[in-house]
Structure 1
Amino acid sequence: METCRTRGAGVLLPVSALPSPYGIGTLGNAAYRFIDQLHAAGQTYWQVLPIGPTGFGNSPYQSYSAFAGNPYFIDLDRLEEQGLLTQSDILKFDWGENPSCISYDKIAEHRLQLLQIAYENSNHLYRSDYMEFCKKQEHWLDDYALFMACKDHFGQCEWLKWNPDIKACDSSALMNYRILLKEKIQFWKFCQYQFYQQWNDVKTYANEKGIYIIGDIPIYLALDSSDVWTHPELFLLDNEKQPKAVAGVPPDAFSDTGQLWGNPLYDWERMEQTGFQWWKLRMACCSELYDFTRIDHFIGIVRYYQIPAGEENAIRGQWQQGPGAKLLHAIHEVIEPHRMIAEDLGVLTDEVTSLRKQMGYPGMKVLQFGFDGNPQNEHLPHNYEKDAVAYSGTHDNETVLGFFSVREEECKRACFYCNATDLEELPNAFMRMLYGSVADIAMLQMQDILSLPNTARMNFPSTIGDNWQWRLESEQFTDNIAEHMRQLAHIYGR
């Protein structure tokens, strides 16, 4: 299926939120069923959140690797079909009792135990496709597998607390630990082999059904990641490998102290000296995993907010110039510009908008943000441009129902604008407004399609707690809802 950005509609649903009897969404039967439902609903796009392995806090935007897949998403039934697990293996563990909520404690406690059993029952080492996979992905896979094996060896502590020789990636230490942790390294490679096999099968099926997959990549990496550990020269780190400065955003109308993300910043000067090789490898990987790729915090490519290390908030940060067009021209050598989407939410400058348009990337609009009383608000559909992906809300927002239930004035404006009689009608009215807009892509969160309250919210930014837990239940996305979406998509030429 040729990848071109056509006028269409889509659904934002993370893999983790797919229905599953095993505690978290996987790349199994529910993924295929969801694709069938999207097809029946006249949809063109399925947008997921980042699919990398998660650590503390379970945020998909804080991953152990920019290239690896989350082993939690490996489908257990598929492993059973391969003869690597038995049903009794799978059912002996408690995956949680609430089908609408992920119990990460239970997943973390049991999932890797099961994958270890599957690994021990496998003869993958002798398979030609496994050897081909390892060869193709060796530029990141060897380092990642050693990184994860070392985390196991050192009790899951971050790499900055490992023994000095392996912390520094000393060549003799690397060799010694590869020998010492050989079995664990092979286990982590096996997990990635299984993930990539299952992901590629799901993507192939989606494309056969006329569904494009939109991936999402964080602009920054977690400090505790294999990429930062093995390539410290590409980041602003001191001699002890600690960040000299960290990422975030300044104070604004939503936060008096700004947002302190804490991610290490890139050494863009050093990146440029390498021809942005690491970024090219990253985007080449995205080119294969996804049909389209959304770059989170696109603004940070033009200019980024640098906060001195050790600060308790983001007040004392300063803006610095980013690589801009130089980086984007480099990555266009491995991924076509029309397959990129810019997450350009925030305080936009003319420079950011100009670069996005110059590159041909669509930007983002969020209808939920449109009802402050200003008719020129860029998030209102009558102000949209064609090169846009228009959302009801994103993973960082309240649900439509939740947002307007506690904002009486905005609710009145939204109901009047969307011709909705009351709050309960707003989620469906939002769908109609987005579908009818000029924006190339209309995207709704599954929670808004189902008219769910804030108990289904995916993430509360700048908090560590009950985030990333919501899941779709198997009977919620009904045939009637899909048919309604299909009719609207047809009426509005999507």
Structure 2
Amino acid sequence: MSFQRASGVLLHPTSLPSPHGIGDLGQSAYEFIDFLERSGQTLWQILPLGPTGYEHSPYTMNFSAFAGNPLMISLERLAEDGLLDAGSLSPLPDSNPNRVEFDRVIPYKDEYLQQAFERFRDTLEGDRKSRYDRFCQEQAWWLDDFVLFMALLEANQGKSWSQWERPIAERQPEALKAQTEALKERIDFQRFMQFKFFEQWTDLRQYANQKNIQIIGDVSIYVCHNSADVWAHPKLFKLDPETLESAFIAGVPPDYFSATGQLWGNPVYDWDACRQNNYDWWIQRFQATLQYVDLVRVDHFRAFESYWEVPGDEETAMNGEWIPGPGDEFFKALNDRLGSLPILAEDLGIITPEVEALRDRFDFPGMKILMFAFAGGPENTHLPHYYPQNCIVYSGTHDNDTALGWWNRAGAEEKQFLAKYLGYGSVDEVEEINWVLIRTALATVANSAIIPLQDIFGLDNSGRMNDPSVIPGNWRWRYGSSDQLSVDHQQRLLDLTKLYSR
């Protein structure tokens, strides 16, 4: 479906400022929404909200495609609910206010969340109990599996579910019943955290919607092997029946980002099994996502047409092959069950005419990246003169360097082409490249334009969120204070937004 002409900002909630070491759903999130409103923006794009594991990637290492990340729960909001004493909240000292130090944040926040749970459990009555019971009942279809999985993961010292005792790994009913009784308190703790996460998130989304701001959520096509999703629905994935490990894993072949490709490590789907199940699990994913966001970006859209499958014992993504995806049938099933959906297609990478045809048959907007536009000459389809209206243009995404970081590393030929294309007399005349790309994005015919907050701030490579060619150290950037959302940033963005009818 096509979207109205609009613009917005890309920022994951963990990148918000907070005295507790990681961005959360408290005051700074509301201040960010106020900034969006004042600067004329009507879109806020986020990354997947799920709880993360190893290296904290919200795309490849999430414990659930349905759950929320408890690290985003605002401690101040818990105090407002009477579940913590506001005076007892001690800030987590920052060694670097622009980085999330997960190894420090996790035990710090867990202690407060445990305290809040104990008070919640002791005061569960009246309206609070009614809201909690309603949440647990309405979300039971994914919540019950998830909270048991997380309690079992903790009881097994973080070992992958495929290494648990076989009766539990295979979900034998008697074994699950026994564990559910034995781990009741830890299960209840997990259920409490999901309740508070989604309560806080729902309040925040309603605040955004009241200010005419829609939230673009993200459905990552793959899920982590060590997740409640794969443990609860193993037949939907290509697993080795003996070891229960991934027989085949996902990734992409060598490309712009990596000479050996990207080996993500996620199990690939058994699409025949998904089809036989009427795509129920997938349809529930979209239903769940649309409970909490307004628009859905489908990450790695091309895999629905064909996907790169690599044997599970490979160390790089080079020795894989393209396997047909579910294609039209899948999206027709979605439409039949849920109607026409507000889907955006992440169609970057190796895109074939077949992928473009699938995207266009369902009228999904694709993506254009300005940072990709100025290498390769006038035929580069990321150049604005190729854009259809039904697309989304970005200066860059969470997977790219910042505009300034890119410009500092760009070659002379690429810089010269940009200067010539945008009407400069020479490269020396190009100043504030971040605002050059912001202006160019907003001026295009693309219906939607999204700018990473780092580019509004004019940050260099230190503000990069993710480098897909490097596994350690990603997903940690955050800004230090809401004061950085300056009046100057607000006014410049507002002026350009008005100028280009966004």
Q: TM-score range by the shorter chain?
A: over 0.9
SS of residue in 1 equivalent to 2:235: helix
- 1:202 alignment partner AA: L
Distance 2:406 2:235 in 1: 43
Distance 1:391 1:132, change over 3 A: same
Query: What is the rounded CA distance, in whole Å, between the counterparts of 1:423 and 1:470 in structure 2?
Result: 27
Q: Within 2, Cα distance between the matches of 1:81 and 1:452?
A: 35
Question: Which residue of 1 is the match for residue 495 of structure 2?
Answer: 487
Secondary structure of 1:54's aligned partner: coil
* Aligned match for 1:332, one of 305, 319, 335: 335
**Which residue is 1:457 aligned to?**
464
- Matched-pair contact (CA < 8 Å) for 2:307–2:322: yes
Contact 1:236 1:245 in 2 (8 A): yes
Q: 1:292 to 1:82 in 2, by over 3 A?
A: same
* Equivalent residue, structure 2, for 1:70: 69
User: Could you say if the C-alpha distance between residues 443 and 261 of structure 1 is closer, same or farther in structure 2, counting changes exceeding 3 Å?
Assistant: same
TM-score by length of 2: 0.95
Whichever residue aligns with residue 452 of structure 1, its letter is L
Report how many residues are paired: 491
Query: In the TM superposition, what is the alpha-carbon distance from 1:475 to its structure 2 partner?
Result: 1.6
Q: Residues 150, 301 of structure 1: CA spacing in aligned structure 2 closer, same or farther, 3 A cutoff?
A: same
Alignment partner for residue 448 of structure 1, among 432, 451, 455? Answer: 455
Give the Cα separation in 2 of the matches to 1:483 and 1:373.
34
Are the aligned partners of 1:287 and 1:334 in contact in 2 as well (CA < 8 Å)? no
Give the alignment of 1:147-226 within 5 angstroms: 147-226=149-228
- Equivalent AA in structure 2 for residue 491 of structure 1: L
Quick one: which amino acid aligns to residue 94 of structure 1? L
Unaligned runs of 5+ in 1: none
Alignment partners' CA distance in 2, 1:400 and 1:57? 25
User: Is the CA contact (8 Å cut-off) linking 1:418 and 1:430 kept in structure 2?
Assistant: no
SS in 2 for 1:289: coil
Aligned with 1:349 (options 348, 352, 357): 352
Q: Indicate the SS of the match to 1:108.
A: helix
Are 1:101 and 2:110 an aligned pair? no
Q: Is the 8 A contact 1:55 1:64 kept in 2?
A: yes
Residues 1:431 and 2:438 aligned together: yes
Deviation of the 1:419 alpha carbon:
4.2
5 Å matches for 1:331-480?
331-333=334-336, 335-407=338-410, 408-419=412-423, 421-422=428-429, 424-473=431-480, 474-480=482-488
Tell me the TM-score normalized by structure 1.
0.96
CA distance in 2, matches of 1:316, 1:122: 52
* Structure 2: 5+ residue stretches without partners: none
Shift in Å, 1:336: 4.6
Aligned-partner Cα distance in 2 for 1:140–1:432: 43
Residue deviations 1:224-266 (CA, integer Å, cap 9, x gap): 1000011101100111211111111112354332111111010
Aligned to 1:122, the other structure's residue is in SS state helix
User: 2:297 is matched with which residue?
Assistant: 294
Matches within 5 A, 1:118-129: 118-123=116-121, 125-126=124-125, 127-129=129-131
Paired amino acid for 1:12: L
Could you list the structure 1 runs, at least 4 aligned residues long, displaced by more than 6 angstroms after superposition. Answer: none
Residue from 18, 21, 29 that aligns with 1:20: 18
Which residue does 2:37 correspond to in 1?
39
Give the distance between the partners of 2:120 and 2:491, measured in 1 at CA: 43
- Percent of aligned positions that are identical: 43
Which amino acid is 2:448 matched to?
Answer: I
RMSD (Å), alpha carbons: 1.5
Q: CA deviation at 1:424?
A: 3.9
Q: Deviations over 1:24-69 (max 9, x none)?
A: 1111111111111100000010000111001110111121000000
Q: Note if contact 1:399-1:457 (Cα within 8 Å) is conserved in structure 2.
A: yes
My pick for the range that moved more, 182-191 or 163-172, is 163-172
Contact persistence 1:21–1:99 (CA under 8 A): no
Question: Take 1:39 and 1:21, find their aligned partners in 2: how far apart are those partners?
Answer: 24
For residue 131 of structure 1, what is the aligned residue in structure 2?
Answer: 133
CA distance in 2, matches of 1:103, 1:199: 23
Q: For residues 429 and 474 of structure 2, what CA distance do their matches in structure 1 show?
A: 29
Residues 19 and 412 of structure 1: is their aligned pair in 2 closer, same or farther, counting only changes over 3 Å? same
Preserved contact between residue 99 and residue 471 of structure 1 (Cα < 8 Å): yes
Shift of 1:416: 3.0
